[in-house]
Structure 1
Amino acid sequence: MRTIAIALVATLAAATPAAADYLVKEVGSFHVGGHTETLNGLPSKEIVFSPGAPPIKVDPNGEFEVEQMYVQFVKQAAPKSKLPLLLWHGGGLSGVTWETKPDGKPGWQQFFLNAGYDVYVSDAVERGRASWARYPEIFKSEPFFRPKKEAWELFRIGPAYEVGGKREAFEGEQFPIEAFDQFAKQGIPRWATNDAATQKAYDALVQKVCPCIIIVHSQGGNFGFTAALNAPDKVKALIAVEPSGAPDPGKADAARLKGVPHLIVWGDFIDKVPVWSKLVVNPTKWSQAVAAAGGKVDTFELPKMGIKGNTHMLMMDRNSDDVAKLVNDWIGKQGLEN
């Protein structure tokens, strides 16, 4: 593979790792996980594929590859870390979460490339380039979609969103609200019945590319905790950014993770959105169980650290590089960077 020189632009925020030239050895992608599914007995129909073309008979029966995950990677010629960094997104979203931010500024993918990691960004089962499958024949329910009002309020950008009218933001919030409509374009239909397939694909990814460090967000939290449980020898550190779920300490063996350092990061305004007082419960119980079993668990409550205004989408907030630097510094203290 020919090595390509990539020149970094030296106009990044002060919190960003020092800008410098580095060499990218390979940019690529792959699909992982999934299986073959066979459909029979479905009716054929004629479809016009493009204007002016004759109708063509389409037979929906046969074999299909389903429940796979898409992964994009950037490998450096001389990474500073021996461990790649895997970035896993949340519900109704895709790997775009970690790429260029809605306001056009670099996201965490670029930050951690600058910091010297090989970076893998994935689209989980059913999202983005991972692709869908037929329902109810394969996926067992129809997809559901997130309206902008739900994203505004659930993601703690502001307390109220009036359809076609005023959007009220929290005072001091850090999300670039002028780019909110651009952010809403990232929304992807999701299913409520695919967790088992998604976990299986994530586990396959860990087996393929790890040992590694994993950063998860929101719905990705439970997948990350479980992936570490399933392969504690492969997951060398787990950073959970506002995880919305976690294993049940009464059913999962937290002691398996006593050798996997954990970091949990929480943003601001959690007390202002009632559902979040419920969402923090299970991840907190799980982190306590890991700690009680002898594991290392650190929790960053950003407002208590003097970093205020962060929304649920803190990797897109205006101060996202400050938060990424905290995460990167924490990784460095685990002795994992070299």
Structure 2
Amino acid sequence: MSRIAIASITALLIAGHAHAAEPITLRDMGSFHVGGRLVEISGKPVKEVVFTPGGVPAKVDPNGTYQVEQMYVQYFLPANEKGAYPLLMWHGGGLTGVTYETTPDGREGWLNYFLRKGWAVYNSDAVERGRAGWAQYPDIFKSEPVFLTTANPFERFRIGDGPNSYDPDPAKRKVLPGNQFPVEGYENFIKQNVPRWTTTDDATVAAYIAEIDRVGPSVILFHSQAGSFGFKVAQARPDKVKALIAIEPAGIGDPAKANVLKNIPTLIIYGDYIERDVRWPKIRANGVAFADAIRAAGGSVDIVDLPQAGIKGNSHMVMMDKNNLEVAGLIQKWLEAKGLTK
């Protein structure tokens, strides 16, 4: 890429981000789709569809071959690369790669932070999310999609103080004391939410495996629902996964194959208020038990409970919280300590 092109990209990245510490200079950026399969559908009636108001009806035959279960990946390659391997970012349930972009209240997200640190970042929309696309129900996706109300994440992601803490009036919302989530940007966060399915996990794992097969040896940073995906993909491709960073993993890998992860340094991070939640004590216990199984097999797992590390008030959406860069700094130091930077 020419110096002029690099300068142009830099200028675009700087625009609107005058608060940034220094410009981001890229040697390349782009995107691709990966994974998926072809599926045949038959026996459906032909439809007549008017695609544009006032237009001429067209016959649409829904029978035929469909491309489904692919994944979208966008990559950013810094001019001065300091990460020893690419950093893959995998989002949680009902979300997309927007998770790691600008925070709901307009601050810098983890994607930009790690780019500034010299990491080649690959940020994805998983199967059935965002730019990855969708497929028919029930022909291909076997369950109905799950949609969330505006109140659900507020009460379930440890932002609000439990059930009935959300109110349409922001002044009446009951936020957990000292919570770091940017509640003033909560409506922007809700706009990021997308439908999710509960029957596409195998397809998602297959797509993530296809991503790491294409990108090559990588560090994987994953959140929430992607806990299961991150660990399972590492168990499927242990030679290509150089480190695992699990941010509040809601799922785990196969405990019977914990020994497969013994040579992969792993960091697991949990936020605040877990003991006050109905579900998270058990979810955390499952994660700790899985970590213990890896350790018993001779592996290295570091578990960080942020409040015990002096970083308090974090919701489930750690990468969006007001102290998100402090947590990112903790991750960066861990990566450096593991010899994963140049």
Instruction: Check whether TM > 0.5.
Output: yes
1:204 to 205, 210, 215: 210
The secondary structure found in structure 1 opposite 2:308 is helix
Q: How does 1:1-338 map to 2 (within 5 A)?
A: 1-2=1-2, 3-5=5-7, 6=10, 11-12=19-20, 19-159=21-161, 160-162=164-166, 164-165=168-169, 166-249=172-255, 252-338=256-342
Q: Who is 1:15 aligned against?
A: none
**Using the alignment, how far apart are the partners of 1:176 and 1:22 within structure 2?**
25
CA distance in 1, matches of 2:174, 2:296: 41
CA contact (8 A) 2:234 2:241 kept: yes
Q: TM-score by structure 1 length?
A: 0.94
Map Cα deviations across residues 188-243 of structure 1 (whole Å, 9 max, x no partner): 10101001100011111111102111100000111001111111111100000000
Distance 2:135 2:24 in 1: 40
Structure showing the higher helix proportion among its residues: 2
The residue matched to 1:102 in structure 2 has which SS? coil
Partner of 1:16: none
The code of the aligned residue for 1:294 comes to G
**1:265-324 alpha-carbon deviations (Å, 9 max, x no partner):** 000011111111121122111111111111110011000111110000010001100000
Aligned partners of 2:265, 2:121: CA distance in 1, in Å? Answer: 19
TM-score (norm 2): 0.93
Q: Is the 8 A contact 2:274 2:281 kept in 1?
A: yes
1:254 & 1:275 partners in 2: Cα distance?
24
Moved over 6 A (4+): none
Q: CA RMSD in A?
A: 1.4
Structure 2 gaps of 5+ residues are none
| Structure 2: distance between partners of 1:189 and 1:21 | 35
Q: Determine helix, strand or coil for the equivalent of 1:38.
A: strand
Cα distance, 1:10 vs. partner?
Answer: 6.7
Q: Secondary structure in 2 aligned to 1:253? A: helix
Corresponding pairs, count: 330
Q: Which amino acid aligns with 2:297?
A: A
47 and 311 in structure 1: CA distance in 2 versus 1, 3 angstrom threshold: same
What secondary structure, in the 3-state scheme, does the structure 1 residue paired with 2:221 have? Answer: strand
